Structure 1
Amino acid sequence: MKLAILGGGGFRVPLVFSALVGDDATIDSVSLYDTSAERLAVIVHVLEQIRPSGHPIRIEPTTVLDEALAGASFVFSAVRVGGTAGRAADEHAALDLGVLGQETTGPGGIAYALRTIPVAMHVAERVAAVCPTAYVINFTNPAGMITEAMQTVLGDRVIGICDTPSGLGRRLAELHGVEPARVHLDYVGLNHLGWLRHATVDGRDLVAETLADEALLGGLEEAGVFGVDWLRTLGSLPNEYLHYYYDDRDAVAAITAQPATRGDYLHEQQHRFYETVAADPLVALDAWHRTRLDREATYMQEARADDEQRPSLDGGGYERVALDVMRAIAFDERATMIVNVRNDTVLPTLPPDAVIEVPCLVDAAGAHPLATTAPGPTEAGLMLQMKGVEQLTIRAALERDRRLAFTALALHPLVPSTRLAGSLLEAYERNTPGLFS
C-alpha cells in the first residue's frame, strides 16, 4: 500500500517513517510531497539513514501534488502554510496587543486556519479526483478546523488525529503500572480542548485514584502545568492546552518574559537544521536527533512549574496514532482510540457537522464515535463557544469574508474586546496579504 505524506519536507516526517519501517505489513511505498524541493531533499537524507539496509519500503519525493496522491491508500496531511515564519508572525501580532498568540488554542489559530483552509480544500478536491477511496489522516493544525473543512468534500474519509489525549491516557496508565491498552478512556472535547474524566480498568478508575493521591498526582506532567489543587477542583485531567484558557494572563506573561516565542525558537532551530544537513548530508540523522531532543524538551516550557515536568519522548506520539489508525482501517483491526470525527448525535449540544475529539471505534469502515456522557455545563459552554468560533472561521476562509473573520476573533474567549479583535485582524492581513481576495 502507498502512503502519501503532504508536508513531506517537514521536520517530524522522520517520526512517521521510523514507525513505518518497524511495521512492515502496512505501507511499502511512501510518497513525500512538499512545495520546497530543498526541504524534501534534506528529509530524504534523514529517511535514507533511518531505513535499514535492504528494507523494501520505497521513498518517492515529489513537488507535484497529483503525483504524490496517485494510487495512495492513505494520505497523511501535515502541511504548514506560511511556514514557521508565519507562525512566529502570528504569535507576535497577538502578543504585541497583550493577547495570547498560540497557533491552535489562541487567536493565532484563527490566523493559521484562514491561511490553511483554502490549501486544505484544494488538497481535498484533488484527493476526491485522484484517489477517491483513500483515507486522509489529518494532523495539519488547527486540526479540528482543518478536519471539519475537509470533511465538506471528503466526508468521513477525513480523520483528525492528535497525540495529546492518548498520551495523557498512556502516562496515567504507566503511573499505575497498568498496560495502557487495557485502560478504557472516557475523554470528551474538541481538539486541544478536552478532559479525561475516567480511565477504567478491572473496576478501578485511575483518574479518581490519582486525584485522591497527592504523590501520584504530582507525578503527572499536568500537575506541573495546572497545579494539584486545580486538578482536584476540576475532578478530571484536562488536556494540557487548557492551560491557555484557565491561566490566560499567566501564560501571556510567561511567554512575553521568554527571550523568544515558540515560533521564533522553532523558526531559528529548523533553519539551522535544514542548513546543516544541506551542507553535509552525512550528518542528517544525527542532526535530526539532536534537534528533536531539544525541540521536545522545551515544549510548552512556559507552562511547566519546573524542569522536572518535561514531556516524555517515549511511547510514541502522533506517528503512533497515525499508524494505529491506518492499520485498523487497512486490516480491519478493530481498535478504540481518541480521534477527531464528525459529531452527528454524540453530543446533542453541538451541531451534527461539528468535529469533536472523543473515543472512537476504528475499523475497515473508518472511525465511528462511541456514545459518551455529555460534558458538564462549564465544559459544554466552553466547547460550544469555541465550536462557534471555529465554524465562523471555516466560513470566513471558504467565503473569503473579512466580516466573518472579525466576528470569529471578537467572539474568541481569549480576545478581550472587539477593538482588539479589529487590531488583530489588521495585523494578520499585513502578515498575509490577500487573505480575503
Structure 2
Amino acid sequence: MQLTILGGGGFRVPLVYGALLGDRAEGRVTDVVLHDLDAGRLDAVARVLAEQAAGVPGAPAVTATTDLDEALRGADFVFSAIRVGGLEGRAADERVALAEGVLGQETVGAGGIAYGLRTVPVAVDIARRVARLAPDAWVINFTNPAGLVTEAMSRHLGNRVIGICDSPVGLGRRVARVLGGDPDEAFIDYVGLNHLGWLRGLRIAGRDELPRLLADPELLGSFEEGRLFGVDWLRSLGAIPNEYLHYYYFNREAVAAYQAAEQTRGAFLRDQQARFYEALGHPGAPALKTWDATRAEREATYMAENREAAGAGERAEEDLGSGGYEKVALALMRAIARDERATLILNVRNGATLAALDADAVIEVPCSVDANGAHPMAVGPLPGHATGLVCSVKAVEREVLAAADSGSRATAVKAFALHPLVDSVAVARRLVEGYREAHPGLAYLRG
C-alpha cells in the first residue's frame, strides 16, 4: 500500500513514519512517497527516516520527489501536510495582525484567515489532481486551518477527504487520565469546528464522568485546561473547551502576551527549523538525534504565551510527547484499508449532525470509521453561546472560500470584518492590504 505525503520535507513527517514502523499487520503501508517543493528539506527528512528505519525489518520504502503528479500516481492514501508560504509566511501573519492589535495565530482570527486565503487555492489544485490521478485514494488532511482546508477540498473529493487534528484527542486523554480512566477505552463527547470545540462528556464504562470532574475544584485545576481557563470558568461552561478557545475567551490577555513576547510562535519555529535544516545540510550530522532535540524544544514551548497569560506554568511532562496526530492518522488508515471499525474525532461533512449548519459544512465530531470512510455520529445540540460562535466562525470560513474562488478583495475584507476577533471594518481593510503586501501569493485578491 502506498502512502504519499505532501509537504514531505516538513518537520513532523518523522512522527508519521515512526507510527508506520510500529505497524506490522497485514495490509500495512509498504511504500512512502515524500513530495515537497524544497529538495533540500526532502533530503534532510529522508535522512531522519533512514535512521529511524535502521534495523527495522520490513520498514516501508521511502522515495522522494519534487514532482506532484508523480507523487500522486498509485497512491492509496494521500496525507496533505503543506504549508503555503512556509514558516516565514506564518511569522508575517502574526506580525501584520499584531500591528493592528488583533490576534495573528495561524488558525484563529486574522492569522487563520490570511493563512486560509493563500492555502485554499493550492489545496483545491491538489484536490483536482488527486481526483484525476488517484481517484480511488483517500486524502487525509493535516494542513491548517484544517476544517477550512478540508471543506475546500471536499468540494472536489466529496467524502474521500477527511481532516484530522490532535487537539481533541489530547484533551480527551488528559481528562480521562485525571479521572483515573483508560484514555484508549473512554468515549469523548466532543463537538464543534476545528480548534473551536468543547468536550461535553467523557464516558468510562458507559458512565459520564465529566460531572464528577466539574464538581471537584482540586481535580479540575490539576490538568492543562483547568490551569489555562481557570476552574470557575470551566464550571460556568459546564464543559472543557479546546485549548484554542483561550484565544476567544481571553483574547485581550492573549494578544497582550503575544505583543510582549520576544518572538512570536511563528518566528520562533521559523528560526528553530532553519537551524535544524541547516544542521542536516552537513553530511555527518546525526539526523535523528538532531530532530529529537528540536522536537522536544518545540513541544515544551507550545502555546507558551497563553500559559503565561493565564499563569498556567510549564507543560506537564506527560504532554511533552508527540501531539498524537500521527496515531490518529494511522488508526484512520487502518479502519478504512482493513475495515477495522474505529471511533475517532475527525473533520468531516456535517450531514444532519448539527442542525444549525448545512450538510456540506465541515465539523469536528466523533465519527465511526470503516471501509466506506468516516461517518459523523449523532450528537446533542450545542448550547446557545457555542452555537453562536460556531455559526459565526463558519460564516467567516465560507467568505474565505468565496474570496479564494472569486479573487475578490471585497469578499476577503468581509471575511476579516465578520470574524469575532476582528473588531472593526477599518481594521479588516488594513489587514487585507497588509497581508497582500506581505504575501505575493495574495496578489490574486483584486477589485
TM-score, normalised via structure 1 length:
0.98
- Give the structure 2 partner of residue 289 of structure 1: 292
Q: Is the contact made by 2:194 and 2:347 (CA closer than 8 Å) also made in structure 1?
A: yes
- Give the structure 2 partner of residue 400 of structure 1: 407
- Give the structure 1 partner of residue 89 of structure 2: 86
Give yes or no for the alignment of 1:43 onto 2:50: no
- Give the structure 1 partner of residue 11 of structure 2: 11
Alignment of structure 1 residues 246-257 onto 2, 5 Å: 246-257=249-260
Amino acid at match of 1:48: A
Match of residue 368, structure 1, among 375, 378, 388:
375
Amino acid at match of 1:20: L
Give yes or no for the alignment of 1:435 onto 2:444: yes
- Give the structure 1 partner of residue 223 of structure 2: 220
In structure 2, C-alpha distance between the alignment counterparts of 1:24 and 1:400, rounded to whole Å = 47
Q: Is the contact made by 2:15 and 2:326 (CA closer than 8 Å) also made in structure 1?
A: yes
Alignment of structure 1 residues 345-364 onto 2, 5 Å: 345-364=352-371
1:344 shift after superposition: 1.3
Match of residue 309, structure 1, among 282, 303, 315:
315
Amino acid at match of 1:352: A
1:106 shift after superposition: 1.6
Give yes or no for the alignment of 1:128 onto 2:104: no
1:306 shift after superposition: 3.8
In structure 2, C-alpha distance between the alignment counterparts of 1:410 and 1:263, rounded to whole Å = 23
**SS in structure 2 at match of 1:340:** strand
**SS in structure 1 at match of 2:202:** strand
Q: Is the contact made by 1:191 and 1:357 (CA closer than 8 Å) also made in structure 2?
A: yes
Alignment of structure 1 residues 260-279 onto 2, 5 Å: 260-279=263-282
1:227 shift after superposition: 0.9
1:281 shift after superposition: 4.5
Alignment of structure 1 residues 147-166 onto 2, 5 Å: 147-166=150-169
- Give the structure 2 partner of residue 202 of structure 1: 205
In structure 1, C-alpha distance between the alignment counterparts of 2:40 and 2:254, rounded to whole Å = 36
In structure 1, C-alpha distance between the alignment counterparts of 2:404 and 2:277, rounded to whole Å = 31
Q: Is the contact made by 1:172 and 1:206 (CA closer than 8 Å) also made in structure 2?
A: no
1:181 shift after superposition: 2.5
In structure 2, C-alpha distance between the alignment counterparts of 1:104 and 1:83, rounded to whole Å = 14
Q: Report % sequence identity.
A: 56
In structure 1, C-alpha distance between the alignment counterparts of 2:24 and 2:323, rounded to whole Å = 17
In structure 2, C-alpha distance between the alignment counterparts of 1:294 and 1:315, rounded to whole Å = 11
Q: Is the contact made by 2:224 and 2:312 (CA closer than 8 Å) also made in structure 1?
A: no
Gaps of 5+ in 1: none
Q: Is the contact made by 1:188 and 1:196 (CA closer than 8 Å) also made in structure 2?
A: yes
**SS in structure 2 at match of 1:259:** coil
1:417 shift after superposition: 0.4
Amino acid at match of 2:444: L
RMSD between aligned residues: 1.2
Q: Is the contact made by 2:228 and 2:312 (CA closer than 8 Å) also made in structure 1?
A: no
Q: Which ranges of 4 or more aligned residues in structure 1 deviate by more than 6 Å?
A: none
**SS in structure 2 at match of 1:425:** helix
Q: Is the contact made by 1:192 and 1:239 (CA closer than 8 Å) also made in structure 2?
A: yes
**SS in structure 2 at match of 1:179:** coil
1:208 shift after superposition: 1.3
1:170 shift after superposition: 1.2
Gaps of 5+ in 2: none
Q: Is the contact made by 1:339 and 1:357 (CA closer than 8 Å) also made in structure 2?
A: yes
Q: Deviations over 1:301-354 (max 9, x none)?
A: 111124343471347611011111000000001111100000111111112110
Q: Deviations over 1:376-428 (max 9, x none)?
A: 11000000000000011011112111111110100000001000000101001
Q: Is the contact made by 1:251 and 1:303 (CA closer than 8 Å) also made in structure 2?
A: yes
**Closer, same or farther: CA 300–119 of 1 in aligned 2, 3 Å:** same
Q: Is the contact made by 1:45 and 1:281 (CA closer than 8 Å) also made in structure 2?
A: no
Q: Deviations over 1:356-382 (max 9, x none)?
A: 000100110000001110101100000
Give yes or no for the alignment of 1:332 onto 2:347: no
**SS in structure 2 at match of 1:260:** coil
Q: State the number of aligned residues.
A: 437
In structure 2, C-alpha distance between the alignment counterparts of 1:174 and 1:428, rounded to whole Å = 42
Give yes or no for the alignment of 1:110 onto 2:113: yes
In structure 1, C-alpha distance between the alignment counterparts of 2:290 and 2:41, rounded to whole Å = 14
In structure 1, C-alpha distance between the alignment counterparts of 2:227 and 2:240, rounded to whole Å = 12
Give yes or no for the alignment of 1:187 onto 2:190: yes
- Give the structure 1 partner of residue 100 of structure 2: 97
Amino acid at match of 2:363: I
In structure 2, C-alpha distance between the alignment counterparts of 1:169 and 1:33, rounded to whole Å = 32
Q: Is the contact made by 2:300 and 2:315 (CA closer than 8 Å) also made in structure 1?
A: no
Q: Is the contact made by 2:299 and 2:322 (CA closer than 8 Å) also made in structure 1?
A: no
Q: Is the contact made by 2:416 and 2:428 (CA closer than 8 Å) also made in structure 1?
A: yes
Q: Is the contact made by 2:213 and 2:220 (CA closer than 8 Å) also made in structure 1?
A: yes
1:67 shift after superposition: 1.1
In structure 2, C-alpha distance between the alignment counterparts of 1:316 and 1:364, rounded to whole Å = 26
In structure 2, C-alpha distance between the alignment counterparts of 1:426 and 1:316, rounded to whole Å = 35
**SS in structure 2 at match of 1:278:** coil
**SS in structure 1 at match of 2:181:** coil
In structure 1, C-alpha distance between the alignment counterparts of 2:200 and 2:284, rounded to whole Å = 47
- Give the structure 2 partner of residue 146 of structure 1: 149
Q: Is the contact made by 1:393 and 1:405 (CA closer than 8 Å) also made in structure 2?
A: yes
1:30 shift after superposition: 0.3
